[in-house]
Amino acid sequence: MNPRHMLLALAVVVVWGVNFVVIEVGLEGFPPLLFSALRFFFAAVPAIFLLGGPRVAWRYVIAVGLALGMAKFGLLFIAMDRGVPAGLASLVLQCQVIFTLLFAVLVLRERPRRTQLAGIAIACAGMVLIMLDHGLAAPLGALMLVIAAGACWGVSNIVTRHAKPQDTLRFMVWVSAVAVLPLLLLSLLTEGAGRDLDALRNISLTGVGAIGYLSFMATLFGFGVWGFLLRQYDASTVAPFSLLVPVVGMAAAWLLRGEAVGLQQGIAAVLIIGGMACTVLRRRVRPAAKSPEQVLTGAV
C-alpha cells in the first residue's frame, strides 16, 4: 500500500475509533434509538439523490439494513446509553469478528484454519476477563447487549458476502435508508413520542455536531474511503487496519472522556485484539481475491 493510501486507511481508523466517543456525547441529548435513526437518515437522504440505486438485490439491502443498521446499531446505542463506556464498547464490539467466523462455519460450511480457532479461544479468554473485572463501570446486561450487537454485525457480514456489493458507499447509503423507519418506529414504541419531541426541540450544537459526525464522517467518509481502498488492494491488505479501531477508541475515551483502563481490562484488550488478529491475518501464499464481505469489518 502506498503512503497516501495508508494515510487514508489510518484516517478511517481514527474516524471510526473516535466515533464511539461521539456516540457517548450524543446520547447525552438523544434517546438511543432516535439518535441512531437520525444518524442513518442524514447519511442516506442526501446521498440517495446523488448516487442512485443500490445495484444489488433488494433482499440483501433490506437484510443488512435490519441486521446492521437497526439491530446492531440499535443495540449498541442502547448499551452505551445504559452505561457501557465508549472505550469498552469499541473493544467488546469487535467480537463481531468471532461471530462472523462462527456463522461462516455453521451456515456456509467453511472450514476454519487452526490459527482462526486459536484466535477465537484467545479472544474469548479476553471476553471472560472483561466479565470478571469487578472494577468495570458497566452493567453486565448492557455489556451483553454489546455482544449481541456484535452477533448482529456478524450476521450482516455473512449476508454481505452473498450480496458482493461492488460499490460499498452506494450499498451503505441504501442500508442506512432501510434502517431509518424501523428505528423510528421502535423509538416511538419504547422511548415515547414525548421524549423524542423534547430531544428534537432542545437539540444543541453538540447534538447537531454528533449527528453530523456519525452521518458524514463515520458513515459516508468512512465507508466511501474503505470501499475505495478495497477496490485498490486485496482485502487481506486492508482489513487488518480495522484491528486498530478499538485501540483508537480506547485511547480517545481515555483522552477525551477520562475513561480509565485498569490492568485486567488492558490484558483483556491485548487478548481480544490478538485473537482477532489470528482470525483475520493469514500468511499470503498467492494473490487473494478481493472480498467485499470484509468491507464492514471494524466499522461503526
pLDDT value of position 47: 83
- If we measure between CA atoms, which residue out of 251, 254, 242, 245 comes closest to residue 293? 242
* pLDDT band at residue 95 under the 50/70/90 scheme: confident
Is the predicted pLDDT of residue 217 greater than 60, yes or no? Answer: yes
136-177 pLDDT, tens digit per residue, is 556 888 989 999 999 998 898 888 888 888 888 889 899 999
Q: pTM here?
A: 0.85
Higher pLDDT among residues 45 and 265, named by residue: 45
Q: What angle do CA 7, 11, 16 make, to 5 degrees?
A: 150
DSSP secondary structure letters along 85-137: -HHHHHHHGGGHHHHHHHHHHHHS-----HHHHHHHHHHHHHHHHHHH-TT--
CB environment 188-214: b (16+ within 10 A), e (fewer)? eeebeeeebeebeeeeeeebeebbebb
Is the predicted pLDDT of residue 127 greater than 70, yes or no? Answer: yes
Place of cell 441504501: 174
pLDDT value of position 161: 81
CB environment 228-244: b (16+ within 10 A), e (fewer)? bbbeebebbbbbbbbbb
Q: Report the range of poorest mean pLDDT among 99-108, 145-154, 176-185.
A: 99-108
**Average pLDDT estimate for 113-137:** 72
CB 292 within 8 A of CB 164: yes
**Average pLDDT estimate for 81-102:** 85
Out of 61-65, 224-228, 237-241, the most confident range is 61-65
Higher pLDDT among residues 52 and 183, named by residue: 183
CB neighbourhood size of 105 (10 A): 14
Q: What are 256's three cell numbers?
A: 477525551
pLDDT value of position 135: 43
Q: Report the range of poorest mean pLDDT among 59-63, 157-161, 205-209, 293-297.
A: 293-297
Out of 5-14, 107-116, 130-139, the most confident range is 5-14
2-58 pLDDT, tens digit per residue, is 888 889 989 998 999 999 999 999 999 999 999 999 999 999 988 888 888 888 999
Three-state DSSP state, 18: helix
Amino acid letter for position 131 = M
**Average pLDDT estimate for 182-209:** 95
Place of cell 433490506: 62
DSSP 29: T
CB 206 within 8 A of CB 25: yes
Average of per-residue pLDDT values in the chain? 84
For 145, residues 6+ apart whose C-beta sits below 8 A from its C-beta are 75, 76, 78, 79, 82, 84
pLDDT value of position 299: 61
Q: What are 1's three cell numbers?
A: 500500500
What is the percent of the chain with per-residue pLDDT over 90, rounded to a whole number?
A: 39
